[in-house]
Amino acid sequence: MILIEPKVTPPLDKEFRPSVLAEKHFLQTARPFGVKAVIGLERAAGEFTRYETHVLPEGHPQFDANFAYVERIVKFLLWQRGGHTVYIGAPSPIGEYIRTVYAKDGPRKFDHSFMGKQVYEKEFSIIICAAEDVPVARETGKQLGRNLAGCRIGFDLGASDRKVSAVVDGEAIYSEEVIWEPKKNSDPEYHYRELMAAIKTAASKMPRLDAIGGSSAGIYVDNRPMVGSLFRGIPEEKFAAIKNLFLRIREEMGVPLEVINDGDVTALAGSMAIGENGILGIALGSSEAAGYVNMDGHIMGWLNELAFAPIDLNPSAPIDEWSGDLGCGASYFSQQCVFRLAPLAGIQIPGEVTDAERLKFVQARLEAGEEGATKIWQTMGIYLGYGIAHYAQYYNIKHVLILGRCTSGRGGDLLIEGALKVFTAEFPEYLTEIKLHLPDEKIRRVGQSVAAASLPVVQN
């Protein structure tokens, strides 16, 4: 694809080439030829995604540009929506290229393994077909949340602490945070004991228990954690106990229980507070986390793992250390970005401290008004503007909730300022169509625990 230089250049990254600009330019070139391409992704419970676009016809002198265009879309859709089987309804050379790239020994072997046996417990495969033969979409989502009546427990499992609240008719009457070390423990019983201790403590504060809802980082399919940073210490041979952890607790407690990705719970909390739907939540923390509530108020069961979704096509873009791919969200919307840009801004971060302390070190310079630190957040704000514009090609968005450690203090305002600068220069329609939010008191008042507690439906 032809890479387009942005109208708004990040001060610390002159070579940034936004995916959204290249994809829009390609589509403008391809659409007049009328060659439709349809990408389909099948995931759990028969859910099926369709994404329609156009490609250049066979025989066109730039036909090979189709390969990069379709591959980047497949990559984005896999990490946005998930899937164990990908249909490529396009001219067969494009499908053959995608099959080669996503083979078990291909450049995207990480995605092949991760999406196949690790997440969906199926062999990952690519099916090449005509555009009209891609199955119809089947995406219902779930009307989770907003159930506030009764005596409920909401929990949030973090990497360094676990939070739990007793919630009665939508009001948190008791909350606690307990330090724990899930990553360092290889015994699934540790996680079971810690979570049960939290649940029983919260339950003791209420006259009865009607339901339990929770949030945690990771990928959840039908209340089963398939992958999660909290469970890195669990050996593969013991991971079945983790997959059944919440099912076991639900059975023992005898009440409805729902647990989903923490990004989706954050988006739900924002939707409940704002009173509207179509919300994408983006958390800029140790990595990038995201969640989405669609226009109907449904949580779709998508992965929303935008940390792995590409937003920069610069061939020299930073490489994600886990997936090995270029230009992915985690390198632009997290503390990883701060650490990457700091040397370019003339800031040397102390080496022998924790990542949290490293971030605070740079943020202190930002609050002091240092030019180099200011340029870091200005750069991230411009990334954010182009990133949101790219996300808007794949999500139907009315609101974007921006939160996480990187938004503290002046940082949050600079991020919003940069994004709006991009909208003004490149996407003026988004100035009225998409509203950007930093968490205010109204959003904080709903909170993660109340939103989590509202997940299960209680049958009368």
CA 287 to chain centre: 10
Nearest to 149 by CA among 168, 166, 175, 174: 168
Query: Contact 39/69 with Cβ under 8 angstroms?
Result: no
Q: CA geometry: angle at 289 spanning 258 and 380, to 5°?
A: 160
pLDDT confidence band for 251 (50 / 70 / 90): very high
Tell me the sheet residues that pair with 403: 283
Contact of 385 with 8, CB cutoff 8 Å: yes
> pLDDT grade, residue 137 (50/70/90)?
very high
Helices 65-81, 92-101: axis angle to 10 degrees equals: 60
Average pLDDT over residues 210-226: 92
Reported residue count of the chain is 460
Cα–Cα distance between 376 and 68 in angstroms, integer? 30
For the chain, which domains are there?
Answer: 34-133 (no CATH), 151-261 (3.30.420.40), 266-447 (3.30.420.40)
Task: In whole angstroms, give the CA distance from residue 260 to residue 448.
Answer: 12
328: pLDDT strictly greater than 90: yes
pTM (2 d.p.): 0.92
pLDDT tens by residue, 44-70: 888 999 999 999 999 999 999 999 999
Q: What is the pLDDT of residue 448?
A: 80
pLDDT-derived band at 360 (thresholds 50, 70, 90) equals very high
> What's the DSSP call for residue 207?
S
Position 334 scores a pLDDT of 94
Contact status, residue 375 vs residue 345, Cβ threshold 8 Å: yes
Q: Is 50 helix (H, G, I), strand (E, B) or coil?
A: strand
Instruction: Work out the percent of the chain whose per-residue pLDDT is above 70.
Output: 98
Worst-scoring range by mean pLDDT, 16-30, 48-62, 145-159, 406-420?
Answer: 145-159
Long-range contacts of 437-441 (CB under 8 A, 24+ apart): 437/270, 437/274, 437/399, 437/400, 437/401, 437/402, 438/402, 438/403, 438/407, 438/412, 438/413, 439/401, 439/403
Nearest to 333 by CA among 263, 268, 248: 263
Give the pLDDT score at 86. 98
**Whether residue 280 has pLDDT greater than 90:** yes
Instruction: Using alpha carbons, list the distances in angstroms from residue 27 to 17, 33, 35, 129, 182.
Output: 16, 10, 11, 21, 46
List, in sequence order, every beta strand (DSSP E) within 78-150: 85-89, 125-129
CA distance to 142, 259, 451, 458, per residue, from 147 (Å): 13, 14, 9, 8
Whether 443 shows a pLDDT value over 70: the answer reads: no
Reported confidence tier of residue 286, pLDDT bands at 50, 70, 90: confident
Is residue 208's pLDDT more than 60?
Answer: yes
Q: Which residues 6+ apart lie within 8 Å of 257 measured at CB?
A: 211, 212, 213, 214, 223, 246, 249, 250, 456
CA distances in angstroms from 75 to 71, 186, 323, 337, 435, listed in the order given: 6, 32, 11, 21, 27
Q: pLDDT over 90 for what percent of the chain?
A: 83
Can you tell me the mean pLDDT for 426-443?
90
- The confidence band for 315, taking pLDDT boundaries of 50, 70 and 90, is very high
183 pLDDT more than 90: no
Structure tokens at 267: 């988006």
Q: In terms of DSSP H, where are the helices of 148-244?
A: 188-203, 239-243
CA–CA dist 128, 133 (Å, integer): 10
